[in-house]
């Protein structure tokens, strides 16, 4: 019984290391609570990508997007964060940019 438990635990832990979490953030020109112009951030959870694609995304997202997006790995959490390099014009444009970045990543890691 103990062997089965250890085997299952090892399989589950191995599964955790096979995928990296990824998220998308896009800054946009918006307004703060007082109505003053302010750069805001729109965030989107992106699920996971294969662990062996981390560096591919980080090193190539700029090339894939003509430097519209950049990516880095959070040192504390290990989550890959893909961001726009210049603020979008509006919240809806930022949402569109997050979707575009996610589609670029999915297209290029297959």
Q: Where are the domains of the chain?
A: 19-109
Residue 19 contacts by C-beta under 8 Å, 6 or more apart in sequence? Answer: 48, 49, 50, 51
Tell me the helix, strand and coil percentages in the chain, rounded to 5.
45, 35, 20
Say what the pLDDT of residue 65 is.
Answer: 98
pTM value is 0.80
Say what the pLDDT of residue 53 is.
Answer: 95
Confidence of residue 110 (pLDDT cuts 50, 70, 90): confident
Q: How many other C-beta atoms can be found within 10 angstroms of the C-beta atom of residue 54?
A: 17
Q: Which residues pair with 25 in a beta bridge?
A: 43, 83
Q: How far apart are CA 86 and CA 102, in angstroms?
A: 17
User: Has residue 12 got a pLDDT over 90?
Assistant: no
Q: How far apart are CA 38 and CA 40, in angstroms?
A: 6
Residue pLDDT, tens place only, 33-88: 999 999 999 999 999 999 999 999 999 999 999 999 999 999 999 999 999 999 99
């Amino acid at each position: 019984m103990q062997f089965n438990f250890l085997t299952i635990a090892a399989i589950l832990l191995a599964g955790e290391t096979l995928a990296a979490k990824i998220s998308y953030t896009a800054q946009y020109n918006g307004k703060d609570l007082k109505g003053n112009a302010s750069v805001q951030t729109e965030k989107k959870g992106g699920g996971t990508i294969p662990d062996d694609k981390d560096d591919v995304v980080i090193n190539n997202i700029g090339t894939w997007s003509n430097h519209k997006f950049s990516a880095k790995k959070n040192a504390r959490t290990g989550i890959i964060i893909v961001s726009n390099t210049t603020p979008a014009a509006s919240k809806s444009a930022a949402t569109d940019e997050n979707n575009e970045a996610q589609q670029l990543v999915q297209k290029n890691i297959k």
